[in-house]
């Protein structure tokens, strides 16, 4: 059972690496310390079909495809500097799987305003002893480790803290992201009268409790929304079923090719192979196999393949969009080659 639990944790973690401190290297896995809101509402058409967002060009009065979209930095009103995908790739940080703890600060010296997102760091690859040593030591000296690490192509500044023998990571906002009172032009504070302060202190003391209650940390709106949805589901009111999504043009072709191939094999099975149709059917079957092979690859592998083929807009594509772009690129090259022949 512990092995199955460890494998399940590996599947749920979205970053693996090592915390490095001096001669100690501690393999860890990163888990989010928060949950996404499960009660998010989706935008639907009247028949229940989930809607998709598309970029629209007002000048040409039409929606744009992914490969037509470029990025630009606005340097002044309606004036942009174009930044290409390959230029952004050159700016990406060096990929590394290490969190190098090179400096520590007292925990109280970190202003909470810098905290962005919370994560848990759990031991991986049999690293429980060095993990526990690091966690207990950091907790005893009440220090936070400051480091940078790369996740999903972006470099993050983090603070690593220890509490109850568990390491936590807090991604930190950069100084440029923090607003100051001067930025929002807060008026100079006035000094309150001592008598009013004393009266307010009594009010605060009378309303003070020993700890923050769990009930106070619950989202009452989310609770009411989920109860409404559960009631409607039970009664069947306002419940609609969206029609299944139609196949993409490319997927439809692959299925048709496979059906033609099977039918041809049944017809020629006892009489030998049809030499006239075999080359065409083999080529189409091969294309279908390419689509299946691409779907077996990870998104990062597909992205690297698209990068080698200089496919535009690849950095903003989803996995299926990368697959279709690679198939189109292969088809275009094939057509060009046949045209020259």
pLDDT of residue 141: 93
Chain length of the chain: 341
pLDDT of residue 257: 38
pLDDT of residue 145: 93
pLDDT of residue 4: 53
For the chain, the structural domain boundaries read 2-34+92-177, 249-340
Give the Cβ contact number of residue 91 at 10 Å: 7
- pLDDT tens digits, residue range 233-274? 889 888 888 776 544 444 434 334 345 445 544 544 444 444
Q: What does the alpha-carbon distance between residue 308 and residue 304 come to, in Å, rounded to a whole number?
A: 6
- pLDDT tens digits, residue range 48-64? 888 888 898 888 888 88
- pLDDT tens digits, residue range 272-306? 444 444 333 333 334 444 677 787 787 778 888 88
Q: Which residues contact 117 (CB under 8 A, 6 or more apart)?
A: 32, 33, 34, 170, 171
Q: What is the pTM of this model?
A: 0.57
Question: Stretch 67-76: mean pLDDT, rounded?
Answer: 89
Q: What does the alpha-carbon distance between residue 157 and residue 145 come to, in Å, rounded to a whole number?
A: 11
Burial of 321 (0-12, 13-18, 19+ CB in 10 A): middle
Q: Does domain 2-34+92-177 have CATH number 3.40.50.300?
A: no
Q: Which residues contact 250 (CB under 8 A, 6 or more apart)?
A: 291, 324, 327
Report which of 93, 97, 110 is spatially closest to residue 145, judged by C-alpha positions: 110
């Amino acid at each position: 059972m512990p092995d199955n639990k460890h494998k399940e944790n590996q599947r749920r973690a979205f970053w693996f690496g090592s915390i490095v401190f001096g001669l100690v290297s501690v393999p860890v896995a990163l888990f989010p310390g928060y949950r996404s809101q499960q009660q998010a509402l989706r935008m639907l058409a009247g028949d229940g079909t989930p809607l998709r967002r598309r970029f629209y060009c007002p000048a040409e009065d039409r929606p744009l495809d992914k490969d037509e979209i470029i990025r630009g930095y606005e340097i002044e009103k309606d004036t942009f500097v174009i930044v290409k995908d390959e230029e952004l790739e050159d700016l990406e940080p060096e990929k590394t799987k290490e969190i190098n703890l090179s400096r520590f600060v007292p925990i109280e010296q970190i202003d909470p305003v810098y905290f962005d997102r919370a994560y848990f760091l759990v031991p991986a690859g049999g690293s429980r002893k060095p993990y526990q040593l690091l966690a207990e030591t950091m907790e005893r000296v009440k220090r936070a480790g400051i480091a940078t690490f790369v996740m999903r192509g972006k470099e993050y500044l983090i603070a690593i803290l220890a509490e109850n023998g568990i390491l936590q990571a807090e991604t930190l906002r950069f100084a440029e992201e923090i607003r100051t009172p001067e930025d929002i032009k807060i008026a100079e504070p006035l000094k309150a009268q001592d008598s009013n302060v004393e009266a307010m202190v009594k009010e605060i003391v009378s309303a003070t409790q020993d700890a923050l209650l769990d009930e106070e940390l619950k989202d009452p709106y989310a609770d009411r929304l989920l109860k409404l949805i559960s009631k409607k589901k039970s009664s069947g009111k306002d419940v609609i079923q969206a029609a299944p999504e139609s196949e993409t043009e490319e997927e439809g072709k692959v299925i048709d090719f496979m059906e033609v191939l099977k039918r041809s094999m049944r017809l020629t099975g006892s009489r030998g192979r049809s030499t006239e149709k075999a080359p065409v059917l083999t080529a189409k079957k091969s294309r279908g196999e390419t689509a299946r092979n691409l779907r077996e690859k990870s998104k990062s592998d597909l992205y690297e393949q698209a990068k080698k083929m200089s496919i535009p807009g690849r950095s903003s594509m989803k996995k299926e969009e990368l697959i279709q772009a690679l198939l189109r690129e292969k088809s275009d090259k094939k057509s060009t080659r046949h045209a020259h022949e």
